[in-house]
Every structure is written in C-alpha cells, then in structure tokens.
Amino acid sequence: CILFSRLLSQMLRGWRSNKVVEVSLSPVTGFHCRPFCSPYTLKFLSSFIVDPIEIHKRKLFLWFSHLPQEEKQFHGYLSPETMHVDPLILERKAEEHAGLLSSPFQTQNLSSPSVTLQQLFEPTDGWSVDHGVNVLLYGAVGSGKSTVFRKLVLDWCAGTTLTHFKLLIPFSCDDLGQMSKVASLRDLVSRKYLHLRKQSILSGDGNQAKDVLFLFNGMEKMKLDFRIGATELCSDPNEALPPSVVVVNLLRKYLLPEASILVTTRLSALDHIPQKYVSRYAQICGFMDLDRQRAYFTSRLLQESGETKHNQEAQALIELLYLNLQRESQLAAACFLPSYCWLICSTLHFLHFTDSKAPIHTLTGIYTRFHRLNFGGEVLDTRIGTGVPIQEHHSSLMLYVVRTVGKLAFEGVTYKRTSFSEKELEQWIGGETKTDEELRQLAMFRTDVLDFFLVPCAESGKKVPKDPSKNDERRYVFAVPAMQEYLAALYVVLGENKSSLQKLTRQVSVAIGQASEDINTVFNILSKFIPLRISAVFNLLKLFPNVYERISSRNKGTIARTMAAEMFRTEDSYNEDVLDQMKQSLLGVHGPQPQQYNKGKTFELYPIFMGGLLHYGNRVLLQQLGCRIQSTTVSQITSVLRKYLVRELSKPQPPEELMDLLVLLYEFQNPRLTAEVLSSIKTICLTNIHMTSLKCFILSSVLSCTPASFRLEELNLSSCRLTHDFLQILMPAFKHTYNLNLQFNNLCSESCILLRDLLLDPKSCIRSLQLCDNPLLECGIFTLMEALSGNQSLTHLSLMHTGLGDQGTLELAQRLQQHTLQELNLAYNNIGDSAAFALVEACRNHPTIHTVHLYLNPLSEVGKQSLYIRGVPKSASSSGKRFRVLASVTEGSDISECWHPILSVIRENASSWERERVQQQLKVFLRDLEWGCQQHQNLWKRLHFRMVERDVRQTLQMLEKDIQPPSTGHTK
C-alpha cells in the first residue's frame, strides 16, 4: 500500500524529531484506504496520533509535580497528593471582599459560605454561556494560594476536578510582568506551551473558548491598568500587545469573553481589578480549625518518618502536638497559616528524624528556606500603570521585613521582651514621617505582611497589667517565638543596627569607592598642574575607604562579642539546651514543669542563629532574597569570635551550655573554626542531656571537623538515654576520645557489636570504657569480650550492673590473659562465690590488673574473707604489684580505702536500682563494720569504723524514707 508507506514514513519522521505530525487520511483524490487497513493497522496508526490537549495534560502534570528545593530535604517522602490538605475557602460579597476575619478561630456562624474551587465555577442564575466566570482568589501571605493553585492544575490533569473545561492554561504573573516585548494571546500560549500553538479553541471563532480556563497566579506582580485611555481594547487573539494589556482585555471580557479566568492575588492588590470585572470573590483562610491542622501534620509527619520504625514516634509527636494546639491557643494561631504548619513540620523533622545518612540541614537553614518559600522574588512596589519595568524600580520585600520587623525583634531581644503594644508597633514599624512613596509601601506592608509575623497575644487577656489604664490594650507577639530571634540575628548580621553616623559613613565610602578609578585618573592628569596642598586632598579621599574598613572591622568585632556574651550568659546556664526548649515550645511541657534558674525570657537561639547566618549556604539563599552578607563581614566576625569562644571555654561549662556551643558550631558549618575551638577543649561532659538522633548527629559532625589525631581526655555521655540507634550515629565521635563514659543509658546486647568493632578499630585509642547500668546481659558481654584479644589500649572497663552472671564471669576470667586491663568493675552483677574466686584468681596472676570491684554481689561472709586473702599475689615480693579486691566497705578487719567512692556510687544510683536489694547490701556492710570494729582495741581505729558506719546508716535511712540522696559526683 503506497499510501500506507507514505503515511508511515511521515509519522516516523515526526516521531524521530519529537514533533506531532498531522496526517490526512482522506486525500483530495478521494482515495479511500479503509478496505486496505486492518484493525491492527488502524490501532498502530492511532498510537502515533496524539491529542495536543492530552500532551498538555501530561506536561502540566510533570511540571507542577516538581517539588520546591525546600521539600527535597525530607528524603523525597513527600508528594503533592499525600501532603495536601485543602485550606478553608470562603466566598465573599463584593462589598465585603476586603474584610478580614476577626479571629482565626471564629469558624462558627460565618456570614460567608465555605466553598471549593469546583463550586466557584459551577453555573449560577446569573451565568451566561457568552461570558465566562472571573474568579478572584485572594489571601494573606502564607495562606496557601500557590499551593492551591498547583493542586488545582494537578487535579485537572488527573481528571478529578473542573472536568467541564477541556483546556486549562496557567500563567505566572511574575513571568508576564518581566516581559518587555509585545505578544498576542496565542503567542503567549504557544511560547510557554508549544504543543498548543495550533489549537483552534483559542482562535476566537464561535464560542469554543467556553471550554477554556485561564489561571493567573500572583496578579499583584503585574501592573494592570483598566483605564481606556491607558489600555486599548483588543478582541483579536492574534494581535500583538503588551502582556498586561492582553490580561486586562481578558478580564474585561473583550478578548475571548466565553473563557473563564481564575486570578490569585494578595490583599493589598484587590482593588487593582474593578469590581465590575469580577464575578466571584473567594478568600483563602488557611487552617482555621484544629481538624485541618491535625490532618496536615498527620499527612506530613507520617510521610516524613519514612521508615516503619519511626511511625510510632511520628504518631506520638502528632498526639503531643495536637494536645498542645488544644491547650496553647498561641501555637494554634500560628498554625492558622499553612506556611507556619510547614515550618513546624520541618522543625520537628529536623529535631526527631535526623540520621547519619541524611544530608546536612541546620535550624538556621530551615528558617532561611522558610522565608525563601514565602518571599522569594517578592518586591515591594507601589507603582500603578507607570509603564516602568518592575526590575528598574523595586526594593526587596525581605530586606524591608528585616529593617522593620527585624528592628522590632532586635529591640525585644535586647530588652528581654516578647510582646509589644500597638503604640510600640507604630513606633518601630511606622517610624518617623515618610515620603508619599514610603507611606504607600508601608501601607502595603501592613496589609500583606505584618500579620504574617505578628499576631495578637492569645493570653494577653488572662494577664492583668500593672497599670489599670492598660487593661484593654491589645498586645502582639511573634507567631513562632524562634522567629523573633531569627529576625533579630539577621538584623544584626546585615549591619542594620549601625548608628546613623556609621550608615552615613558607609554610604560616602561606597560612593568614593565606586569613583576611585575616576579619582585616580583625574589625579594623574592634574598632579602636574595643581599645588601640592591641593593634591593632598585627593590623597585623603583615596584613603577614606581604608579608614572606613577599620571602623567596619570594629563593628564586626562587636557582633562577635555579642554572640559570645549571649552564648555564655550566667543566668541561662541552668536552662535546658536550646533544642529541648524548641521542642517544648512546639509540643508543650507534659508533666512537671522544668526547673529553671532564670524566671524571665531567655533568647539562647539568638547567637546560634547569628552563627548559622554566616554559613555560605544560608548567605546564598539570603542573597536571592535581596539580603547580602559580605564575605569580608564573615571573615571579620569569625576571627574575633574564635578568640572569645576559646577564652570562654577555658572556664567550666554546664552540660546544657556545652550542648548549645556544639549546636552553634554545627550551625556555623565552618570546619576550620570548629577544629580551632575544639582544640582548646579537653573534656566534653554532656551528662544528663536528653540525647536525640539530632544531638548525636551534631556531636559526631562537630568532632569530625577535627584532625584525625585529635583526642579528648573524656567524653561523658552518662545518663543521656542513649539507645542502640544513637550509638550508631555516635561511632565517629568515639574515635576522638581516650575515656568514654556510657553509663546509665539504654544500651542493649546488640550495642556490644558496635562497641566490639570500636575497640578493634585501629584508629580507636579508648583507655577507659564505662558501661554501668546498661542491660547488656551475658550474651552482649560475650560479644564485647571478642575485642580483648585484638585491643591493647583499654585499661579500665566498668561493667557494673549490666546483667553479667556467673557464666559470663567465668568466660571473662578465661579471656583476661589476652588483654592488658588494669581495673575491672563487676559490681552488682549476681556473681556468686565460685565465679568470683575464679575471676580473682585470674586477675591476681594477671600482669597488669590491680583492682577488681565485686561489691553489691551476693557473696557469703566466708567468700568475702577469702577474696580479701586472695587479694595478695603469690609473687608479691618479686613483682611489687599491689592487687585489691573491693567486695565491701571493709577489707578483712580493716576499712577499705575506697569505702567513700563505694557509698557514693550507691547513693548516685539508688533511685534506678532495686531498692530492697540495695538496702540488704547496706545492712551487710553494717555487719561487716561491726565485726571489723570488734577486732580492734585501738580507740582511733574504732572511731574510724563508727564514722563509716554512720555514713552507711544515713544512706540506709534515706533509702527507707524514699529520699533522694544528694549528688556527690562520684561515679565508677
């Protein structure tokens, strides 16, 4: 079939060039090919003929399915389908379209009905086939306009909504506003959607356009002018005009009047479209009820948890968060905006689901990305119909936020305040008298952005102010408390807190610096003709920028000193670390309130955010927002900060303050600074810090910045609630310490595999390993013993209260000869006489072991006496080694030299040990002391016995009365 071959060749050429080829199956000659084509051939041909609208749907779905970079930080667990929760949309009347809800929680008795986007385009009584519907969808910054826009496109592509429209054409008003060339409507469509270039549905013939829906997102970014004198009329889709004129004629229903249009915009731009051109107003009101908020957190956090083992933890987080939303209306006020729900989910993901395989993320990075999501590319511009391109006259909206809201945040941090009155907002946000242009910018900012950061204080009505005249004064707070510290830090790092003289000096310096080349040229020409005195003036002008640099470096030193001072405030030393404080602010405090030394507000995130903002990645994001931090600024702050951190770390720091320092170094992401600061530290003590996966990752990440030869004298992680999973994250950190303290944690027998590999690692040089009060059991300790043959650095091993029994003790006794241990602690391990005898016998003949701890084991009186006698080596005179067995507070008829540490260990751990068994052992100690006292006639010896007996009785009485003994700091 010649025709079939010709058609097939045409389609193959089109397929190879990735173009759609239109082929006519009815030639002019009237040739009818149906008899020659089998059903299989027709099916084969139809597979090459693709509907352009179907191509359009597939491409739109791919384009709008791409998640922003900010969403990719969660391991790709999220998708628009699983994480989307429809915000509340209210239809407004024309006369009330600009009205705002009086409260984000007044969902009852709403005057406006709740609608969906599908309902907004349903036919009404006033609907006409000849005129499509113009819907204006508006809302505050962060209320979810762009998300709803994207979800609408995806649902139409999937065929689940607005199916009566055959064609949906979305446009970004930001892109249209940047276009300087004229173009027709069809050119605008074909330029963005090439596959629609020949669609007859956009030709304007008949009423085909009734099946078309145009979407314009972010209308405030286009300067539309509906005046006839400024915007000519146009009804031809092929006539080339400026993009704003094309959009105006579409909204006027002069161009393709049958088409329907959806426009999204901010509150301040509502009046840019006359009411007569809007069929329906709809306001996005975010998540006004707790059910929507909970649905959002559930869809996000359960997806973000990824692995099944994290599902239970994610579910627990959701429940705690929901309880806090019900109880703390201030947090719920922030969650009114979906953007803040995203921020809360991102923060919780960062706090709870960080692991060693995840890419590096910081808290400062989350807040910076949050602002890029909401203010990326946003400018503050008030020109209407001037014809001047936006890029030629605009100011960064984010920079305006820093100079207004950031200034207010900085004043609050400086004077320890979190709430502000309306007069204070007027003072700091409004400022002094401004020009008309500045007043218009301020009005737009107040309408669109101010409520995004500051919300009415939900608890202000519960607190009675000292001044009765101010009872009804409304106060405002930051929607999320950490936002105040972030904006204050950004305000300082950007140098906006300079004095007026410093800012003027900067402007003059920049002007002279830009003209330096011209000055040099002029000076070289005139130096031959002007007197020497006048030439000195030119030299002064040339030197002025260098003088400014000196002044500027002092200012950067002030920033570094501020960071160091805020990091090590004495009144903050007894607060919980910043990560725990942030978790409590989101999930609430359940149970007893934490004991805090400082009753007032602390701003411990403030210096940490300042350090994080100096990181290169955050500076790149901020530069995209119009906030530029110079590299010279970073260098000057870093050099001064290094000195202050090293000086402060020479003083002992509480574990909470030390954890905050590690967070600061992690947020800074400067390996060189981190290594230099840590080189001045010999010990990292994080005892009683509630470690999480994030804190473990921070510790490992920070220590990984140090050289391979760097070693800590001690890494103390006792009572940190460590588990096997946390131990895996911490393994790189363990290679940088000599003494590792892991006592009083939740390590299991499986954890011994990791510890064995650590001891066998040639890069590890651990000398002391303390594993007291971990349920390792005999099987775990058997695994740990496998490292004894290959490790020669370990000298002190503590296995007190680890579940080791007689069998494990006997196994350990057989392996000791292969290792160079010096001290072994097996106290409180259910070891009987026979196993204890075998162990002591092996240790007595061991060349290096000098001390074995066996107290709090069920040893008989005869057994203890025999162990004391065995505590002398057979060849003591030749070896000179002193070997001791600590089985009681007494050694035979004498008091043990270690009686005080033994009692201290019991006092420290009595609350977590079996109370009756400890009391029984203390009574055994009393009998030992009584027997030893009877063996001596010396008065001073007997007084010494009575003194020790008194301490034992006090400890016993405290246990019987269930009183927590005071901490002495002794651990073993």
CA distance 264 to 238: 26
Task: List pLDDT tens digits, range 294-304.
Answer: 888 888 888 65
DSSP string, 597-657: S--S----HHHHHHHHHTSHHHHHHHHHTT----HHHHHHHHHHHHHHHHHHHTS---HHH
Q: Which residues contact 568 (CB under 8 A, 6 or more apart)?
A: 648, 653, 657
Place of tokens 């389609």: 11
- Choose among 595, 513, 500: nearest CA to 547: 513
Pairing of strands 212-217, 260-265: parallel
Q: Torsions phi, psi of 396, nearest 5?
A: -65, 130
* pLDDT at residue 43, as a whole number: 46
Q: How far is CA 395 from the centre of its chain?
A: 28
DSSP labels, 355-371: -TTSPP--HHHHHHHHH
Q: How many other β-carbons are positioned within 10 Å of the β-carbon of residue 501?
A: 9
Are 56 and 193 contacting, i.e. CB atoms less than 8 angstroms apart?
yes
Residue in the structure block whose two tokens are 């588990």: 723
Q: Which residues pair with 543 in a beta bridge?
A: none
Pull the structure tokens for residue 183.
């173009």
Q: Are strands 768-770 and 454-456 parallel, antiparallel or unpaired?
A: unpaired
Angle made by CA atoms 648, 651, 655, in degrees to the nearest 5: 95
Long-range contacts of 588-595 (CB under 8 A, 24+ apart): 588/320, 588/323, 588/324, 588/327, 588/328, 590/320, 590/323
Q: C-alpha angle 446/447/452, rounded to 5°?
A: 75
Q: Are 253 and 365 in contact (CB under 8 A)?
A: no
Task: Please answer whether residues 873 and 844 qualify as being in contact, where contact means their C-beta atoms are separated by less than 8 angstroms.
Answer: yes
What is the number of alpha carbons within 13 Å of residue 703 lying toward its C-beta? 25
Residue with tokens 């502000």: 420
Summarize pLDDT for 362-395 with one digit per residue, the tens.
Answer: 999 999 999 998 888 787 764 544 444 444 445 7
What gap in Å lies between CA 718 and CA 552, rounded to an integer? 45
Which tokens sit at 803?
């579940």
Answer yes or no: are the C-beta atoms of 610 and 493 closer than 8 Å. yes
Contacts 24+ apart (CB under 8 A), 879-886: 881/847, 881/850, 882/850, 883/843, 883/844, 883/849, 883/850, 883/851, 884/850, 884/851, 884/852, 885/840, 885/852, 885/854, 886/827, 886/851, 886/852, 886/853, 886/854, 886/855
**Two tokens at 24?**
């006519």
Name, in order, each residue with C-beta under 8 angstroms of 593's C-beta and a sequence gap of 6 or more. none
Give the residues across from 420 on adjacent strands: 476
CA nearest to 560, candidates 485, 614, 628, 627: 614
Q: Which of 621, 616, 604 is nearest to 663 (CA)?
A: 604
Q: In this predicted structure, what is the pLDDT of residue 482?
A: 93
Q: List, for the chain, all residue ranges whose pLDDT scores fall below the cut of 50.
A: 1-5, 7-8, 11-12, 14-48, 98-109, 382, 384-393, 460-470, 499-517, 519, 537-538, 540-552, 597-598, 873-878, 965-972
pLDDT at 847: 86
For 461-488, what is each residue's pLDDT tens digit?
444 344 434 455 788 999 999 999 999 9
Please tell me the predicted confidence (pLDDT) of residue 407: 92
What are the DSSP calls for 109-147, one per residue? T-SSPB--HHHHTS--TT-BTTB--EEEEE--TTSSHHH
SS3 262: strand
pLDDT for 895 = 77
- The rounded distance, in Å, linking the Cα atoms of 86 and 794 is 60
What pLDDT does residue 465 have? 42
Residues in the chain: 972
Consecutive H or E run containing 454: strand 454-456
